[in-house]
């Protein structure tokens, strides 16, 4: 029976060996890159990062161990050890672990150069073939890493072969009932730990890159990530992305966009740069942005028993700046958040908070430079949509999430309800207001998202559960705003309230549902003395950043696609996307480009009874909307791909 236990020992030995290699490279990663980026040693953060890294390392090792463990342990139960199977498992280790080892070591200099873990996009450079290989092998600073890869791979192979030979030399003893009583439960336990290691979570979501993020120190957050895990996750980026780049070349698109945005002094690495200097006194005020889940503009006209289901929002409009023709950049929460804060549209169904983080300037950056404390409040897990990864890498100091709330307040997989989100957030804002510097806070509500958890007192506030939850969100917003205005800081705060996106409502007249992108946008502050004002000009989430910066009169470098809706030349139209379509709207027409069928559609907004495509009958109007929207999207795609969006 000795062979049976030896088999389990063999699998566990290779498993631990792999984790030790990953840990060693993480330590080397720390010493190399902490020096490069002048990071001060913090023992608490270092060991926290190492602990989280161990979870990622164990996940990779568990994946590799799974097949050898299953097949070898089954034979072990019968006191068998087929030599061929052992050799196959050994070969599997020798094939997979050296690849993971090489990625881990290559990640060290890659991070030094890009301040980002190596992802699948790194392979884009190999399209340049000889040039790329030349750059890699001619760089003498890479030589120590080539040597380290060679030494590590050879060492791992040598140790694996050694342990394999040792296993094959193990002698056999007779099977006894006592042996089986120990072996069977031991095998089950080891299987359980392996499967748990693969998932690395007992909650709804399995382990994600966001688990590595625990502080506002970007370096220590990234220290915990396993580069092989990061690479695996970024493989999703290999999926073909929707694009309109086949319609217009970048040079034409950029020229058009620069003209539209009045860019007069572009820079090579900042082709949309507009350096904005304040034309008045800078306002040292707090900023609170509230993104309301699925808040379509249509909801503001919905009634139940003769009363509006959003009475507070409607009343707030009457003492605020209100933008009637305002559109979300996309149809997903991550798109609405990123577009609002950083001034860039999503590239159709591509998420804006990917594993391989895109770095932006934008409102958080501009306010951080002015000494603001930046906070983000979300109801659910911070790993959802890679939010905490994205925010900590893009100038937020704190991300408050389900991890910070009591379990008793969690109602479903989306975390806490909006009332508690605002209640908790108000306490944190009160604390932040005690400091001398102003704060910037963003709230992302979620209760108006299926599955609905309708509070008892709101079950008769609408015709449907959906309407009840819109009414509930309205009431939660009202309480937060009223409580905020009772605070001293509330009288010195600019509030921006808008939808993260809309929702498909009612009958759909057009191929692209307008209600999914048409959202309310309200700017309210006790400091504004010329309200109410209703603006009919077109705008979108990408305009929030420059508009707020303009209201605060802070100097900022606007390299986004957004404009100041209150000071810049008005947009003649507004563009937006869903996963497979590009839309652009003005006072008379609605243009849609379908990326699947490659077709162009133009609707007459004044013909309420028609959904006919009049593209060919109104070519001038159609081409204007098409060129405007395609120019913007091609420019955005180029800037994001080439990382010139800062």
Tens digit of each residue's pLDDT (9 = 90 or more) over 479-488: 999 999 999 9
- Dump pLDDT digits (tens) for 444-471: 999 998 888 999 999 999 999 999 999 9
As a whole number, mean pLDDT of residues 49-69 equals: 91
Per-residue tokens: 631: 């120019």
Report d(CA 624, CA 218) in Å as an integer.
43
As a whole number, mean pLDDT of residues 23-47 equals: 90
Asked if residue 131 has pLDDT above 50, the reply is no
- Dump pLDDT digits (tens) for 206-241: 777 778 878 767 688 889 888 888 888 767 645 556
- What pLDDT is stored for residue 1 in this prediction? 46
- What pLDDT is stored for residue 164 in this prediction? 93
Residue 521 Rama label (left phi>0; alpha psi -120 to 50; beta): beta
As a whole number, mean pLDDT of residues 418-422 equals: 97
From the centroid of its chain, how far is CA 348? 15
Asked if residue 126 has pLDDT above 60, the reply is no
Q: What is the dihedral of CA 187, 190, 192, 194, to 10 degrees?
A: -130
Share of the chain above pLDDT 70, in %: 91
DSSP H or E stretch at residue 57: helix 43-77
The mean predicted confidence, pLDDT, of the chain is 88
- What pLDDT is stored for residue 128 in this prediction? 39
Crossing angle for the helix pair 333-342 and 544-552, nearest 10 degrees?
Answer: 40
- 3 state SS of 578: coil
Residue 412 Rama label (left phi>0; alpha psi -120 to 50; beta): beta
Report d(CA 339, CA 350) in Å as an integer.
13
Answer whether the bond into residue 551 is a cis peptide, omega within 30°: no
- Dump pLDDT digits (tens) for 604-642: 999 877 778 999 999 999 999 999 999 999 999 988 888
Q: For residue 568, give the nearest of 528, 532, 537 by alpha carbon.
A: 537
- Dump pLDDT digits (tens) for 523-571: 999 999 999 999 999 999 999 999 999 999 999 999 999 999 999 999 9
Bridge partner residues of 323 (DSSP): 521, 535
- 3 state SS of 618: coil
Domain positions in the chain: 2-237, 250-641
Per-residue tokens: 109: 């200099």
Q: For residue 103, give the nearest of 238, 237, 229 by alpha carbon.
A: 229
Report d(CA 622, CA 592) in Å as an integer.
9
Q: Who wins on pLDDT, 480 or 246?
A: 480
- The model's confidence at residue 120, banded by pLDDT at 50, 70 and 90, is low
- 3 state SS of 583: strand
- What pLDDT is stored for residue 540 in this prediction? 98
As a whole number, mean pLDDT of residues 11-19 equals: 94
Q: Who wins on pLDDT, 93 or 580?
A: 93
Query: Where does 250-641 sit in CATH, by number?
Result: 3.40.720.10
- The model's confidence at residue 437, banded by pLDDT at 50, 70 and 90, is very high
Q: Who wins on pLDDT, 33 or 521?
A: 521
Report d(CA 582, CA 83) in Å as an integer.
60
- The model's confidence at residue 138, banded by pLDDT at 50, 70 and 90, is low
DSSP 539: E
- pTM for this one? 0.77
């Amino acid at each position: 029976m000795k062979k049976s236990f030896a088999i389990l020992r063999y699998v566990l030995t290779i498993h631990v060996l792999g984790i030790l290699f990953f840990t060693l490279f993480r330590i080397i990663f720390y010493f190399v890159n902490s020096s490069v980026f002048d990071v001060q040693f913090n023992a608490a953060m270092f060991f926290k990062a190492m602990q989280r890294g161990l979870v990622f390392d164990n996940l990779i090792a568990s994946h590799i161990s799974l097949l050898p463990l299953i097949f070898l342990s089954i034979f072990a139960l019968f006191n068998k050890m087929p030599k061929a199977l052992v050799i196959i498992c050994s070969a599997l280790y020798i094939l997979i672990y050296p690849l993971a080892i090489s990625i881990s070591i290559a990640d060290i200099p890659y991070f030094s150069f890009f301040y980002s873990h190596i992802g699948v996009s790194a392979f884009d450079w190999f399209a340049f073939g000889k040039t790329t290989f030349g750059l890699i092998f001619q760089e003498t600073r890479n030589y120590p890493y080539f040597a380290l890869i060679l030494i590590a791979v050879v060492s791992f192979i040598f140790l694996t072969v050694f342990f394999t030979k040792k296993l094959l030399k193990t002698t056999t003893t007779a099977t006894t009932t006592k042996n089986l009583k120990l072996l069977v439960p031991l095998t089950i336990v080891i299987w359980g730990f392996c499967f748990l290691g693969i998932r690395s979570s007992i909650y709804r979501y399995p382990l994600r890159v966001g688990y590595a993020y625990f502080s506002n120190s970007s370096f220590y957050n990234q220290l915990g990530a396993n580069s092989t895990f990061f690479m695996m996750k970024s493989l999703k980026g290999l999926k073909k992305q929707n694009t309109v780049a086949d319609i217009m070349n970048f040079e034409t698109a950029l020229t058009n966009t620069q003209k539209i945005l009045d860019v007069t002094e572009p820079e090579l690495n900042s082709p949309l740069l507009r350096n904005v200097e304040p034309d008045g006194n800078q306002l040292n005020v707090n900023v609170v942005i509230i993104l309301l889940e699925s808040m379509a503009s249509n909801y503001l006209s919905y009634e139940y028993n003769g009363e509006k289901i959003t009475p507070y929002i409607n009343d707030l409009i009457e003492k605020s700046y209100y933008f009637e023709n305002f559109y979300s950049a996309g149809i997903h929460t991550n798109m609405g958040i990123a577009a609002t804060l950083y001034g860039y549209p999503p590239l159709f169904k591509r998420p804006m908070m990917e594993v391989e983080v895109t770095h932006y300037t934008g409102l958080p950056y501009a306010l951080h430079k002015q000494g603001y404390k930046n906070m983000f409040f979300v109801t659910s897990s911070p790993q959802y949509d890679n939010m905490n990864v994205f925010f900590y890498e893009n100038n937020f100091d704190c991300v408050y999430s389900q991890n910070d709330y009591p379990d008793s307040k969690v109602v479903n997989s989306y975390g806490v309800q909006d009332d508690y989100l605002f209640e908790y957030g108000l306490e944190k804002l009160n604390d932040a207001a005690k400091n001398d510097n102003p704060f910037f806070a963003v709230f992302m509500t979620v209760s108006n998202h299926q599955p609905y958890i309708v509070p008892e007192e709101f079950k008769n506030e609408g015709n449907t559960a959906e309407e009840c939850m819109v009414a509930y969100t309205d009431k939660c917003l009202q309480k937060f705003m009223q409580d905020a205005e009772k605070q001293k800081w509330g009288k010195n705060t600019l509030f921006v309230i808008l939808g993260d996106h809309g929702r498909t409502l009612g009958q759909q007249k057009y191929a692209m549902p307008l209600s999914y992108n048409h959202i309310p946008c309200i700017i309210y502050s006790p400091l504004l003395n010329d309200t109410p004002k209703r603006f009919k000009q077109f705008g979108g989430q990408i305009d929030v950043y420059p508009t707020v910066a303009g209201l605060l009169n802070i100097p900022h470098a606007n390299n986004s696609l957004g404009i100041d809706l209150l000071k810049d030349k008005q947009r003649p139209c507004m563009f937006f996307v869903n996963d497979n379509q590009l839309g652009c709207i003005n006072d008379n027409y609605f243009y849609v480009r379908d990326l699947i069928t490659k077709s162009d559609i133009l609707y007459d907004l004044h013909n309420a009874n028609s959904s006919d495509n009049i593209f060919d009958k109104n070519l001038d109007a159609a081409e204007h909307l098409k060129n405007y929207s395609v120019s913007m999207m091609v420019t955005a795609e180029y800037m994001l791909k080439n990382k010139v969006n800062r």
